[in-house]
Amino acid sequence: MEGFFKLVSYYKTQSEPAYCGLATLAVVLNALAIDPERKWKGPWRWFDDSMLDCCEPLEKVKVSGISFNKVACLAHCNGAEVDTYHTNESTQDNFRNYVISCTSSENCHMIVSYHRSFLKQTGGGHFSPIGGYHAGKDMVLILDVARFKYPPHWVPLTLLWDAMNTVDKDTGFYRGIEGAEHSNLLQSCRHDGWDTIAKYLSKKLQQLLSSEEIHNIQDILSVIVSSAPADLSNFINWVAEVRKQENGSNLVSEEEQGRLVTKEEVLKQVRETELFKHLTRWFLSGSSCMPNAILDGTDSLEKIASEVCCQGAQLLCGKVGSCNAISSKTTQFRSSDCDNAKSVTVVSANVILEDSECGAEMLVPSCRKNPGNPCECGSNSSDREHPSVVDGLTVLLLALPPDTWSCLKDAKLLQEFCDIISPKNLPDLLQQEILHLRKQLYFLVTDVCCSAT
């Protein structure tokens, strides 16, 4: 029961009938004391189910719930280290051992996905956290987030296993458990085009690489980019941090400044990779002139930020829907420690949502300008530039699993390319970011693949 008091302190009722997965995750993220790095209401930073807006649009979750893998992806996106176990890949004894291990720790919490009918309850598939284990009776405590239906209750572990050992008809996967611990990483997939990108990466890319005549790395890049979905250009959003507009405030806090510094170091390391240099040469060669200008890099920072701020305003103002109007401007804000910090680029936007106005701001990292980078975003008058699509594409390709490239027919070329994209050759900070993103992609791709079948 070591983790019980932390969980029960943050125990909440799901705010929508289909939000059991989101509410469960909010309880666990708060119990792990993970900072959402954004405000919830007033000055408070706190996870609420309405804030878990990436991996799956809230509108879709409200209608049809969320899958096991998308909950895992959400946990990963929001700073938790996640282990997942489907029942067809494990055993009842392994489940018991994991329950005992996790409930004996304050730093690990379990989420279970199960079917209510096995517990003689009304409803279908459901998520809830496990609050404890009774070794003498071999029972687990379920902290049901549908508290309008059921209070916390003890169930035999064997019965819960049976309720988990069922197939989710929407995905074709067996249900299971997720264990979450505290992590601290930068990457997020808060964009509704991720499913499209996942389909391309998991289905189409390998087919293209195996069917095309490919003789060198430039050929590989040409195949990847020229056939990519338009959503790929939105991967630049991986560096965005959105905050609520504060009246009269033009300061960037020391904490925000620290996160920007970390992101800027990641960008610097990205631009030092061999893959970034190959992509830059490919763009400069003129090969990037294609019918769908998905990676032309000519969008202004304001245009790029408009979508980010729109999504951010929906989240921060607690409204889900389309943005009716957006007006934005770019300003230079100073750090709260004005004597020691440089200016920070902030794009502020006034967004009209359901006939009411919400304000959001996007903090943008920058790095020293590289004269050879063909995809600059923002003003050319500064010696610094904001992240380009080439930066984002470099990160995305580095994060793809190694077997993505196994279809390349030229063994020598395959080895050369794998040496370039291998995480073991990357600096520690960038390597951490890449492996984190790779795990996110795994959850998304797995979910997309099973949905397609």
Q: Distance between CA 447 and CA 348 in Å, rounded?
A: 35
Q: Are strands 153-156 and 139-142 parallel, antiparallel or unpaired?
A: antiparallel
Which of 20, 309, 358, 375 is flagged as catalytic? 20
* b/e per residue 127-151 (b: at least 16 CB within 10 A): bbbbbbbeeeeebbbbbbbbeeebe
Q: Find out whether 101 and 108 touch, Cβ atoms under 8 Å.
A: yes
Q: How many CA atoms lie within 13 A of 56 on its CB side?
A: 29
Q: Find out whether 103 and 199 touch, Cβ atoms under 8 Å.
A: no
Among 21, 23, 24, 46, residue whose Cα is nearest residue 36: 46
109 is catalytic: no
317 is catalytic: no
Q: Which two tokens stand for residue 152?
A: 């916390």
Which of 49, 53, 144, 168 is flagged as catalytic? 144
Q: Which two tokens stand for residue 216?
A: 């060198």
Q: Which two tokens stand for residue 249?
A: 């405030």
What's at 411, amino acid-wise?
Answer: A
Which of 76, 115, 126, 386 is flagged as catalytic? 126
How far, rounded to the nearest angstrom, does the alpha carbon of residue 88 sit from its chain's CA centroid? 26
Q: Find out whether 238 and 77 touch, Cβ atoms under 8 Å.
A: no
Q: Which long-range contacts (CB under 8 A, 24 or more apart) does 201-208 make?
A: 201/400, 201/404, 201/441, 201/445, 202/445, 202/448, 202/449, 203/449, 203/452, 205/404, 206/404, 206/406, 206/407, 207/407
Q: Tokens 């601290």 belong to which residue?
A: 184
Q: Find out whether 79 and 182 touch, Cβ atoms under 8 Å.
A: yes
Using the Cα atoms of residue 295, residue 197, residue 186 and residue 259 in order, give the sign of their dihedral. positive
Q: Tell me phi and psi for residue 174, to 5 degrees.
A: -70, 150
Q: Which two tokens stand for residue 126?
A: 């459901």
* Residues labelled catalytic: 20, 126, 144
